[in-house]
Structure 1
């Protein structure tokens, strides 16, 4: 079905200071507003030196701004004349306004780069005289041009600064317009929830200031957002309200859009005749409006309606008209849909050669659209806007702020604690190193043995530093940056609280990493002693599953323990618990969502063979040769980009061997992995004792 054209931009209206001085009372009953402005332009031409009169220049601007879309050639003439006359008398405000309507001309003719250049000149002139309203208009127009160009990050930046200026100066009309216009950027990213949020804010302002024009426009864009969200009930309500207001206000350019939305709803409901009727109403209005870019979605919709009615000649006629405008203005939007319609048309009419040609063009356009994706930069700037939203709410939530600050304090304590643990590890290793060096100087007879021991200790220290630098330093520095941003008021309290769950996960990850580092470091430095005892393996599995249940639940992974309570081993309980925890953690990391992990045990003579089996992505043959290698720190990212230290399996191997067992693995890519380890059975006589 037809995808709704992206939301339309509202062109801000600035009332001219000289216009209110004119006597229009006799004209209002006889002519339209358009004719009134034109009549007054002719009236001022009768005056001496009228070209040096700022009121005359302002009238030219008003006429071009309000009605230039009906004749683009006239719009160009009015823009150039406004700029020229303003420069002659050094009228900076007139220069700025002239560049705005010149930018509108270039925008409507598809020359986006020249439009951006003109709007930048308008902004520069407005900033010279600090005219806040024209600054906001220039920024909004510049953002519109960036949006048409597909540079959504720059567009969003201009809207954000414009919103800030409008808030500071209590310009509610301008603020409402900016709220409406910024939603166009979000609609390009399919973030319709954010669109509805800002449009709802705009509606509240419109009711407050009783601006019917803005209300009608906002209702139209709301309808578009609801259609994109597949909420046709609300879409129908909003578009019907909008059409009533727009017809009353005679806003023909917006009526074309509202009619198209009404048609789109019928098209989505497969009521093709009704859809075609509304598209035709829009087409009729477009005959008097020279806004070529907005004809593309209309022709696209008409061609789809005719296609579903099996009127193939008309389908091709309107599709080619839309494609011609898109090519002429170099607009990607909806060209892919038109090409797809032509492809389906040629298939339906048994024309495979033309169908293949359109299919190739469709794929080329689709690839080009995908390459212009600015989502990552948009989200970064979007966070700044969300900060502003939350800042407004904090004014009314002072009591909550105190409680939240306590939470920040505890978060800071956790970070300090993490730093303390790292410092302790570093100092402890340095101390051990110093002791080893002193013993080497005293015990010369054991020089060869101690030399080997010292080399191993140095390797341990290097690996510890490497892991700390890469796997602990990063998250801790992130915590520090967040607190720095909070202190500098670059981040709101609510935003910080939103990161608390992520911080908790990071701290859990750090704790898990530190536990592995400490255990492995001790095994390398002969600082750990294996103390075997009768151990129930299924109890260890249950304990570790409870610890890792949160991680499993996050990925909807089931944990199934099939080990009997009769499986008793003679081993070091703590060491085997670490082995089970690491194997389970790895299985969770490399198992996609909705997978499963099972635990079991088989008898192997005097040993129990315990296994941890997952339905994950498996391990490649090249990786299988590295995972237990003590000389190589090997790690990969999990299915959700989880990062490990690379020490877990090495630690497992060493601890299993200290308990007189062995560890091995069977795996193949995309078929899951099964880790096995053996531990001695608990002797019967030891059980009786």
Structure 2
């Protein structure tokens, strides 16, 4: 079997192209050339053509020596020694011995083992059974060493892999732990931030409440006490007594309204206080509030027009809904001008009831509108005839409607009037 001309040309061109390349690249080309020649030799040997096989193995040997491929040189020497075993055991042994020395110098255990096995066969053919056995034992010893070496390498590799996996597992565990700790930290940080904000709002409400109690309750109470002392002393004439009684009536009403609002606020702050949702008659609730506030409206000659539509029962807490309606009507009276008018309307919108309280009073200033429902903020104002408003009732109305699953909003223009809207689920 011949190596084709094209193969030689290809090898030549490949080698020429590698002249300017690095040494490892050139070695790769030379190794490939050696393999090609050796494969040709093996093919001839397989076909029984020992002469041509020897020719190509010797050619491969020259190639390895020319390019300093020592390990491949030992392989070529071994192949030649094996082929010469049947022709000349002396030469065969000489080639194998040279190959063994190179393998020993390069510390190639597997190559040494293969050479020793071939040498054992040559000794056996020479009927030198003692050397054959000794060489075979050396071969087996090397095989065991090679096996142990491979085994040790495999164990070391497995150990490295296990170490790597453990390190990876530790890294993942640490990373997950850090993420969990970070999430817990973020959670508690946000929770503390919310609690601090709630505490700040609570403190603000508390300060405002103390201000209300100290001023809006103590003030009217003090005025009532002074007026009663004057009446009791008998120093007033009939006209002055009439004026004092009118003042007492107004102060008592203001005192009572503020006190009721504070009591409702206190009830709403009780732990676990939840709305008792039930079906509530809208018109009945509105009429009840009108009856209670009729005197307040009459004092300012204000006309209140009740809803003209049929009753719309809503789902809400009866007491809380009653408080909201009464508060919105009271505010409408408070901020309406004497001789004014207030309209109350109810309307069905899909599954909701819409209730509106519209007045033609002083309206809400634009600056105050922006934070009218701001949590934790109370807006103290004065009505059209000097009535004091704390804003606590409106804050409670917001909380109550929200707790009952509804909405409350407003539309106001300063100097024109205000409309407050409430939407609540209809009772089926």
1:608 to 324, 331, 353: 353
> 1:617·1:671 contact (CA, 8 Å) conserved in 2?
yes
Q: Go from structure 1 to structure 2 and tell me whether the alpha carbon gap of 1:528 and 1:674 turns closer, same or farther (over 3 Å shift).
A: same
Q: Mean Cα displacement is larger for which, 599-608 or 534-543?
A: 599-608
Alignment of 1:674 onto 2:422:
no
Within 5 Å, which residues of 2 pair with 1:81-120?
none
Could you tell me whether the CA contact under 8 Å between 1:537 and 1:563 is conserved in 2? no
| Change beyond 3 A, Cα 1:558–1:534 | same
1:478 aligns with 2:226: no
Tell me the residue number matched to 1:538: 283
2:247 pairs, out of 495, 498, 502, with 502
What is the aligned counterpart of 1:553 among 275, 298, 302?
A: 298
Indicate the RMSD between aligned Cα atoms, in angstroms.
2.7
The 8 Å contact of residues 536 and 568 in structure 1, kept in 2 or not, is answered as yes
- Aligned counterpart, 1:213: none
Q: Distance in 2 between matches of 1:601 and 1:659?
A: 18
Structure 1: distance between partners of 2:231 and 2:299: 28
Give the structure, 1 or 2, with the largest relative contact order (CA under 8 Å, sep 6 or more).
2
Secondary structure of the residue aligned to 2:382 is coil
Equivalent positions of 1:187-202 (< 5 A) are none
Larger radius of gyration: 2
Q: 1:595 pairs with 335, 340, 352, which one?
A: 340
Match of 2:364 among 619, 623, 640: 619
Does the aligned pair in 1 maintain the 2:358–2:420 contact within 8 Å?
yes
Of the candidates 260, 284, 290, which is equivalent to residue 515 of structure 1? 260
Count residues with an aligned counterpart: 238
Give the TM-score taking structure 1 as reference length.
0.32
Q: Give the gaps of 5 or more residues in structure 2.
A: 1-190
1:463 CA drift (Å): 2.7
The structural deviation recorded for 1:515 is 1.1
Aligned to 1:576: 321
Deviation at 1:603, TM superposition (A): 2.2
Contact persistence 1:538–1:564 (CA under 8 A): no
Cα separation, 2, equivalents of 1:449 and 1:622:
26
Q: Which residue of 2 aligns with 1:640?
A: 385
Distance in 2 (CA, whole Å) between partners of 1:487 and 1:568 is 50
How far the C-alpha of 1:618 sits from its partner, in A, is 1.7
Q: Distance in 2 between matches of 1:460 and 1:525?
A: 15
Aligned to 1:44: none
Report the CA distance between 1:456 and its aligned residue. Answer: 6.2
> Could you say if the C-alpha distance between residues 593 and 497 of structure 1 is closer, same or farther in structure 2, counting changes exceeding 3 Å?
closer
CA distance in 2, matches of 1:455, 1:552: 38
Is the 1:616–1:672 Cα contact (8 Å) retained in structure 2?
A: yes
1:662 to 407, 413, 417: 407
Runs of 4 or more, structure 1, over 4 Å off, are: 446-460, 484-494
Residue 590 of structure 1 deviates from its aligned partner by 1.1
TM-score by length of 2: 0.51
Helix, strand or coil for the counterpart of 1:591?
coil
Counterpart-to-counterpart distance in 1, 2:301 and 2:229: 35
Counterpart residue number, 1:305: none
Query: CA 1:454–1:526 in structure 2 vs 1: closer, same or farther (change >3 Å)?
Result: farther
Higher strand share: 2
Contact 2:382/2:389 (<8 A) preserved: yes
Q: Once the 2 structures are TM-superposed, how far is the Cα of residue 488 of structure 1 from its aligned partner? A: 5.8
Given the alignment, which residue of 569, 573, 585 partners 2:330?
Answer: 585
How far apart, in 1, do the equivalents of 2:193 and 2:360 lie? 48
